[in-house]
Amino acid sequence: MTPADRFRAAVDRRDHAALDDLFTDDIRFYSPVKFTPFEGKPMVLGLFGVLLRTFEDFRYIGDYTGTAQTSTDGSSADSAVLLFRAKAGGKEIHGVDLLHFDDDGRIKEFTVMVRPQSAVHALSEAVLAGLVEDGLVPAPSAQ
């Protein structure tokens, strides 16, 4: 089973412990709604907890594998692109997960891209609320 297959299976089962084993300690997660990445296994695992309960009808519908240059250090790494469909906040989402693996097959960099813009907005609001609720980020201040 490839690292991408192990990841897909963990997401399908909503298996948080399996995700813990699949991430490097210094994983970086690039979100479509935040310029700087979420960094480190504790933060990314917390984020996945929020994502797994935010997405409705989440399903992977395809994949591509190969190599790609990482954002972190520009090195080439084994990679997989996983295509997905889901709903969040009543909006249909089309997206891709781009996974970069280390030499041990663990995910060291994770990038998510979604469309359309209305779905990005709905997802952003739902994820922020979940992150605040779980104490992973402070509540935004009123302006």
- The pLDDT confidence band at residue 119, using thresholds 50, 70 and 90, is confident
Of the two residues 117 and 84, the one the predictor is more confident about is 84
Rounded to two decimals, the pTM is 0.88
Cα–Cα dist 33/35, whole Å: 7
Query: What letter does residue 35 receive in the DSSP assignment?
Result: S
The whole-number average pLDDT for the span 53-73 is 90
Are 72 and 109 spatial neighbours (Cβ–Cβ below 8 Å)? yes
Decide: helix, strand or coil at residue 25.
strand
- The pLDDT confidence band at residue 93, using thresholds 50, 70 and 90, is very high
C-alpha distances in Å from residue 32, one per residue of 21, 78, 127: 24, 22, 11
Nearest alpha carbon to residue 114 among 68, 55, 67, 65: 55
